[in-house]
Amino acid sequence: MRSKKFILLVLFIVLLLAQTPFAYRRYKLRRLSTAIQQLNTQRPQQQSPGFTEYKGVVHVHSFLGGHSAGTFSEIISAAQASQLNFVIMTEHTEKDFDTAQMTLQGVHGGVLFINGNEASAENGDRLLVLPGEVSLVAYPEEFKTWNTPRINGVEVYNVFTNARRINPVVAFFDVLWSQRSYPELIFALYLQRPDESLKKWDQALARGRLTATGGNDAHANIGVSLKDSSGKTLLGIQLDPYTTSFRLVRLHVLIEEGKTLDASNLMDAVKAGHCFIGFDFLGDPSGFVFEGVNSLEHTIQGGEISLQPDTRLQVRSPVSGRIVIFKDGQILVAQSGASVELPLIERGVYRVEVYLPQLGLTAPWIISNPVYVR
């Protein structure tokens, strides 16, 4: 009997010690939460002159097309709770009915919904097919036919792709310790720069213009639940509700002042690359500015500018961080601060990533679209 008690005591101590790393990770999330709150209080009010900024999410699924049981009401409520201006739906296709026409579209609860599909080709390539003849490469690390002329953009970051790299055992205990207090910030423990996707995008930019977007890939289908015979949930835990997914990564779109936020103007701006990716759960990136200027021209990200003796790039971050400017896929400048002004002497494709080293993270906070210097 004593030996059994001793064994149980040892097992209890081992289990207790095994939880120590997760308790420490929860402590790190508390410190991260405090640091983010402090950052958000430092933000000035700014935006690209002549444009209004709208924030929303791309790559969202409902019960249509399988893979999810999420309802329209849940999606609308989550979009409102997250204070989104727009949601771009990308329903899986079905053989016998048009899921894009059946999904949310138009304004619901004060949020603009765009109806689209996630379509798969025979070779496995997947595209997000949206109104306005906009097609975005989904899962670029697996995409094969980059030479097709119908591509307008690339989903350079995808939440699901990042999540696939997570150790499920580690994630389980992180959720037990931290999900109630820090449902979004848990993801900061796993957030990674999408190196391969960004490399594929940079290579594609050498052949033509392509808009970068971030994908929430929101399904609200991960969790454990106990249901009765009618399907009613009696007990359960939802790991990826829409309210959490919608706060991780967002697309910030710039639309010319005087134009309303509607499907046509939104898709025109996305197609033109007048937008940037923000990991909003790390701090509000609204007001980020990246533009090209000279005495004759002014352009924001997604636009072109001619190389003149006084052509320069201007970057303004909402808060001080590490600003990295890329030229044709290679790092050109990496500088700490809230702004950078860079005189240009060469034509090329220039883009920006902003990091927040003060948060102790190595993944980017902002990924811009390019300024094309011709």
Across-strand partners of 119? 127
Give yes or no for residue 237 having a pLDDT over 60. Answer: no
Q: What is the pLDDT of residues 341-362, one digit of tens each?
A: 999 999 999 999 999 999 988 9
Q: Which residue has the tokens 């639940």?
A: 225
Q: What is the pTM of this model?
A: 0.90
d(CA 33, CA 22): 16
Structure tokens at 135: 């097609």
Q: Where are the domains of the chain?
A: 16-284
Residue 309 DSSP code = T
Structure tokens at 322: 């590490």
Express the helix, strand and coil content of the chain in percent, nearest 5 each: 30, 35, 35
Percent over 90 (pLDDT), the chain: 68
Residue 369 DSSP code = P
Q: What is the CA radius of gyration of the chain?
A: 22
Class of domain 16-284: alpha beta
Using alpha carbons, select from 311, 349, 314 the residue that is nearest to residue 335. Answer: 314
- Number of residues written out for the chain: 374
In this structure, are residues 203 and 328 in contact, taking their beta carbons and an 8 Å threshold? no
Using alpha carbons, select from 38, 28, 17, 47 the residue that is nearest to residue 318. Answer: 47
What type of residue is 217?
D
In this structure, are residues 114 and 271 in contact, taking their beta carbons and an 8 Å threshold? no
**Segment 211-228 mean pLDDT:** 74
Which of 81-90, 236-245, 260-269, 287-296 shows the lowest mean pLDDT across its residues? 236-245
Which of 114-128, 220-234, 289-303, 340-354 shows the lowest mean pLDDT across its residues? 220-234
Q: Which residue has the tokens 């990716």?
A: 277
Q: How far is CA 341 from CA 66, 203, 315, 323, in A?
A: 48, 25, 6, 11
Q: Who contacts 170 (Cβ-Cβ below 8 Å, separation ≥6)?
A: none
Instruction: Please indicate whether residue 262 or residue 160 has the higher confidence score (pLDDT).
Output: 262
* Local structure of 280: helix, strand or coil: helix
